Amino acid sequence: MSYIKEKFKAKADELSAEVKDLLKNHGTKKVDDVTIAQVYQGMRGITGLVTETSLLDANEGIRFRGYSIPELREHLPKAPGGAEPLPEGLFYLMLIGELPTEADVQNLSSVLGRRSHVPNHVFDAIEALPVSTHPMTMFTVAVMALQTESVFAKAYADGMSKKDYWSYMYEDTLNLIARLPRVAAYIYRRKYKNGQHIQPDGMLDWAGNFAHMLGYDDEGFKELMRLYMVIHADHEGGNVSAHTTHLVGSALSDAYLSFAAGMNGLAGPLHGLANQEVIKWILSMREELGGGIPTKEQIAAYVKKTLSEGKVVPGYGHAVLRKTDPRFTAQMEFAKKHLPEDELVRIVWTVYETVPPILQDLGKVKNPWPNVDAHSGALLVHYGLVEYEFYTVLFGVSRALGVLASLCWDRALSLSLERPKSVTSEWMKLFVEGK
Ligand code: CMX
């Protein structure tokens, strides 16, 4: 057994014993009350899940095992000559609960490199789809095709014991994370670069190699990919992609089945697809206004037009956050350092100065501030990755780190099949009448 796996097992055994005690001594203690509004309106704010890897505060934003994004940028190991954290380090932190050393991260990078082989039938499955297929559909099809490689599914079919679930889930998790950059890069090169594929570079880190296989060897882009893969990785357990992965995994579906399900949720425009919607919205605003950087007045008029057409302003608002998303701020800092004069970036910043008061004035939007998706597209366009339909796939590759680390914890803690109670509106009416 590898030392990282052994460490995970030791941590999991410790926490399992604590959870057992917690359930035995306090299992009947109430953590929440639930209102009818919450039941109808997306279960907002109901504490009903346990996710170890990260915790979201409405005002401060996300913390991964207690570390904020600025702290991660400071403390996680970097690539040689680089300034951004390596995503392998964040994965280690989410899985083990401790900051990794340089050696831990190097070890994880080479483990992922060794496990990254993608069987040919996965590429054949992608090739079977029309080139016009949305990249997120290609991505989930490819993940489903990879499911043939699940060691968890094989072990279950052979009759594995409950106490070994965590071990096979761990193996599937590392194998899947290792393979995703190759799969995603294949989709990109097939759809947008005439199928001219680029072989992996085994000397590079996970995100650096991903940038290389996409066809972007600029050091700035590699740094952007490392930061991008870190900030999109996890956002506690209730968001659609994380919750879906966890829910499907609770049926003992393997990591491939569970992750593919989560990715279908990420592909929705109110969740991960918002990153493509933002850049589409900005580009059509710029085109409609005749190019250049629009003024605040022009942006305000365009926002009001968007709202009057019954649409949302993409990249703004959040189900939990109530302040500017620190993932937005991290990208803004990256842009200030590397591309402060970029026109699209300047538009993103002017939109940031303009949109919040307009949304606030609507009186119904709970969070008028930008989320992670409001900034990412402008950075990608700067380095030449202009094919915005692909952006959610980048989000998906990153999100694998968090949701799959969580899936390992789910099996290690023996979390149950998820099965909340639902009622009909008829039931609700009778309940209100006290019947
Ligand atoms: N533009 C216009 N209206 C908005 C809005 C926005 N950016 N954000 C919220 N609203 C509206 C809602 O549509 C809702 O209107 P109705 O009452 O008419 O249905 C009202 O304000 C109240 O919504 P809320 O409680 O503030 O927000 P929710 O928790 O229901 O939804 C979210 C959160 C993210 C879906 C919503 O803010 C939104 O649609 N934003 C734009 C899409 C987006 O950027 N999504 C990405 C989120 C991050 C991610 O998951 O990647």
Model ipTM value: 0.99
Q: From ligand 1's centre to the CA of 369, what distance in Å?
A: 11
Q: Which residue, judged by its Cα, is nearest atom 23 of ligand 1?
A: 365
Predicted local distance difference test score (pLDDT) of residue 133: 98
Q: Mean pLDDT, to the nearest integer, of 117-132?
A: 98
Q: Which residue, judged by its Cα, is nearest atom 17 of ligand 1?
A: 364
d(CA 204, CA 202): 6
Which residue carries 């090739």 as its tokens?
Answer: 127
Predicted local distance difference test score (pLDDT) of residue 435: 84
Predicted local distance difference test score (pLDDT) of residue 53: 98
Domains plus CATH for the chain? 1-270+399-435 (1.10.580.10), 274-382 (1.10.230.10)
d(CA 388, CA 372): 15
Residues with CB under 6 A from ligand 1: 239, 270-272, 274, 307, 312-319, 359, 364-367, 371-373
Residue 271 annotated among the catalytic residues of the structure: yes
Strand partners, 67: 64
Q: Which atom of ligand 1 is nearest to the CA of 235?
A: 50
Q: From ligand 1's centre to the CA of 270, what distance in Å?
A: 7
With beta carbons less than 8 A apart as the criterion, state whether 325 and 283 touch.
Answer: no
For the beta carbon of residue 407, count every other beta carbon within 10 angstroms. Answer: 31
d(CA 358, CA 219): 38
Predicted local distance difference test score (pLDDT) of residue 246: 98
Q: Mean pLDDT, to the nearest integer, of 122-148?
A: 98
Select which of 246, 271, 375, 382 is catalytic: 271
Predicted local distance difference test score (pLDDT) of residue 1: 84
Each residue's pLDDT tens digit, 288-346: 999 999 999 999 999 999 999 999 999 999 999 999 999 999 999 999 999 999 999 99
Q: Which residue, judged by its Cα, is nearest atom 32 of ligand 1?
A: 318
Q: Which residue, judged by its Cα, is nearest atom 16 of ligand 1?
A: 364
Q: Which residue, judged by its Cα, is nearest atom 14 of ligand 1?
A: 365
Q: Which atom of ligand 1 is nearest to the CA of 278?
A: 44
- Name the pTM for this structure: 0.97
Tally: H helices and E strands in the chain = 20, 3
Mutate to test the pocket of ligand 1, among 306, 308, 318 (most ligand atoms within 8 A of CB): 318
Residue 318 annotated among the catalytic residues of the structure: yes
Q: From ligand 1's centre to the CA of 201, what distance in Å?
A: 41
d(CA 376, CA 391): 9
Select which of 318, 375, 382, 410 is catalytic: 318
Judged by DSSP in three states, 130 sits in: coil
Place 418 in a pLDDT band, splitting at 50, 70 and 90: very high
Predicted local distance difference test score (pLDDT) of residue 198: 98
Each residue's pLDDT tens digit, 208-246: 999 999 999 999 999 999 999 999 999 999 999 999 999
Predicted local distance difference test score (pLDDT) of residue 98: 98
